[in-house]
A and B are shown apart, each in its own frame.
Chain A
Amino acid sequence: MEDLPASLAERLRELTYNERALAYLQIDAALVLAGAGGHLENYGLAAMRLGEPAVEQAFFLEGLLPLEETPYFVPSVEIDCGRAADLHFHLEGDTTWVVLFDVTAYRDATRRLQQKAYEMTLLQEKEAQLNRRLEEMNRELEASNDFLVRISTKISHYLAPQIFKSIFSGQKDVTIHTERKELTIFFSDIKDFTATTEGLQPEEITHLLNEYFTEMSAIALEHGGTVDKFIGDALVIFFGDPETMGTMEDARACLNMATHMQRRLAELNVKWRSAGTEQPFRVRMGINTGFCNVGNFGSADRMDYTAIGAEVNLAARLQAIAEPGHVVISYETYALVRDIVAARALPPISVKGINRTVVPYVVEGVLDKAGRKIEIFSEHMTGLDFYLDPRAVDAAAIERIRTTLRNAIAALDGRGGEDTPGGVARPDQESSPPKANDKAM
């Protein structure tokens, strides 16, 4: 210090003693306060009593005395008063000196910086934590979504695809609610199903029926039909809900579906016959168009999406009067499809719940665009699998077909009046259906 110019020495004294509020404690070997001075009041130490234990008066000294190393420094210490001090300890013989410098301004500046940095870090931590939580939630969501998709896929097999779609897209509410709509309803039933499958094992019947329903449902879907339900071997399909193409188009689609089904059934019968099924499936079909109630029926816990009403019953009735392998439609349907079918009126019938006289029409064939009847010949019974669609025949094969048919007729003629195998003709086989019925669509 002596080397310093007087002005600088004075400034240093000013800086340390006044501006940094220098204070000191002098502690003897017995840890008794031997002296104290400077700006003690700045640190709340104004009442220090000389001759008394130092640690009891300045509790921040607890654990630090006697000094284990010298010098010893504790930076930025805040004692009761709220001010921060750097504590400098050093030993001189048996005397411990403690020098306090006020660093409150420095502490406050550091705190501001540190506070900003910590708040930033906390925000980043929070963000990372939120992101983790978000990812976790996303994973959970994906898992529940996968689960829902699996479940809904399972459920979808119990519902018509259109109904499933309209429910799962939120278009339809799952509440007891019905609407009055003009529908075309289709009923089909396998003629003498029990007798036909008599010789088969239950597993074979199940397999056969499942294949039949799978094939028929696919055709229904292809034509825009809503498969309502399977009742034993019967099939109920409607057109016009949940999606409609207009009453006329719905009716035409239904009729086209029915003829498509009959064609496919002929093919299936060939396949089943070659697989060992003795009797072919012969299906009667009924179609009607009219206003029905369609929607959810049942209880709030267990509902069925279906159509009900007298017009639905009429479709079932028309199916019952149809000959096996044929389609019977009501006049209401016929009026909508007359330009695409050849049909013949049957005697009027009356149906409970329907006030008008119902005239059924048996479909004899489908008309092409020029109004010509497209004839398809189909007959299946023990000893005969016959299906002929003249339009589908290759020109080169025509002669071969003619020969086969001629030979077949000659063979039948040669057989003359022999008994049918087993001696007794089955009712299905013995009476040939009305002439028109020899031709399916």
Chain B
Amino acid sequence: MTAVLQKKICMLGGFSVGKTSLVQRYVHSVFSETYLTTVGVKIDKKTVTLPDRTVNLILWDLAGEDDINSLRMTNLRGAAGCVLVADGTRPSTLDVALSLRQRVEAEYGPLPFVLLLNKSDLKEQWAISDADVAGVRENGWWVQTSSARTGEGVEDAFMDLAVRTAG
């Protein structure tokens, strides 16, 4: 039997930035307006067909980082990549995402990651400036706005990560 290529991908970010919603959008093509906080971790699978192979992305949707929950670093064991998520309407969540990336890199070395500035559909409440985004991009990072509600940027982000982790 041919071993199926599987990659563990961790969703990281502050609480209520939309990690679970992004996974729900990506895996099940659904979006719920109701906010339901994640406790521990929720694991989902999404099969991605690349030109030369098929990859199962095993998505670890980890509880959001905040004062109550500090990220359990051991949960990232064996991860092939990360999706960092910030909420574009709450600038402080970008700092949380960037600090998480630093901590993960300190523990596990450089991992492929994408940074999503989520909730791009809430244009009127958008609070992260273009200058801040440009500043992050200068590091050569893959940054994109996304919306779990409309699906904007979601498929691209996971596809990019699939290509980079499977390569």
Whether B41 lies near A76 (C-beta < 8 A) is yes
Residue in B1, B37, B58 whose beta carbon sits within 8 Å of that of A63 in the complex: B58
Q: What residues of B have a CB within 8 angstroms of the CB of A75 in the complex?
A: 40, 72
Chain A residue numbers with a CB within 8 Å of B36 are: 111, 115
B16 within 8 A of A: yes
In the complex, which of the residues B16, B40, B45 contacts A122, with contact meaning CB atoms closer than 8 Å? B16
Contacts of B77 in A (CB 8 A): 63-64, 68, 72
Q: Are A62 and B16 in contact (CB under 8 A)?
A: no
Interface of B is mostly: loop
User: A59 interface residue, CB < 8 Å from B?
Assistant: yes
**Residues in chain B within 8 A of chain A (CB atoms):** 1, 3-4, 6-8, 15-16, 35-37, 39-45, 56, 58, 64, 66-69, 72, 74-75, 77-80, 90, 92, 127
B37, A60: Cβ atoms closer than 8 Å: no
Binding site for B on A (CB under 8 A): 52-53, 55-56, 59-60, 62-64, 68, 72-80, 84, 107, 110-111, 114-115, 117-119, 121-122, 125, 129
Q: Is the CB of B58 within 8 A of A74?
A: no
Complex Cα distance, B52 from A177, in Å, reads 81
A84 touches B79 (CB 8 A): no
**CB contact between B39 and one of A53, A111, A121 (< 8 Å): that residue:** A111
Shortest CB–CB separation between residue B162 and chain A, in angstroms?
14
Which 5 pairs from chain A and chain B are nearest by CB? A63-B78, A76-B40, A63-B8, A62-B58, A78-B42
CA distance A119 to B68 in the complex (A): 13
Given A59-B45, A118-B16, A122-B16 in contact, is the A74-B74 Cβ separation under 8 Å? yes
Give every chain A residue within 8 A of B43 (Cβ-Cβ): 59-60, 77-79
| Residues of A close to B42: CB separation below 8 A | 77-78
The smallest beta-carbon distance between A437 and chain B, in angstroms, is 76
Residues of A within 8 A of B6 (CB): 55-56, 59, 62
Q: B15 near A74 (CB under 8 angstroms)?
A: no
What are 20 A-B contacts defined by CB distance under 8 Å? A53-B1, A53-B3, A59-B6, A59-B43, A59-B58, A60-B43, A60-B58, A62-B56, A63-B77, A63-B79, A72-B74, A75-B40, A75-B72, A76-B39, A77-B40, A84-B39, A84-B40, A107-B40, A117-B68, A118-B37
Q: How far is the CB of B59 from chain A (nearest CB, A)?
A: 10
Which B residues are in CB contact (< 8 Å) with A52? Answer: 1
Set A59, A80, A115: member contacting B37, Cβ < 8 A: A115
Nearest CB in chain B: distance from A54 CB, A: 12
Contact between B78 and A62, CB atoms less than 8 A apart: yes
List of B residues within 8 angstroms of A125 by Cβ: 90, 92
| Chain A residues near B64 (CB-CB < 8 A) | 118
Least distance between A25 CB and chain B CB atoms (Å): 15
How near does chain B come to A47, taking the closest CB pair, in angstroms?
Answer: 15
Chain B residues, Cβ within 8 Å of A79: 43
Q: Is the CB of B40 within 8 A of A78?
A: yes
* Alpha-carbon gap, A121 to B92, bound state (A): 13
Q: A379 → chain B, closest Cβ, in Å?
A: 76
Instruction: Give complex CA distance A80, B44 in Å.
Output: 7
In the complex, the answer to whether A59 meets B39 with C-beta atoms within 8 Å is no
Instruction: Report the nearest A residue to B42, measured CB to CB.
Output: A78
Chain B residues with Cβ below 8 Å from A56 are 3-4, 6
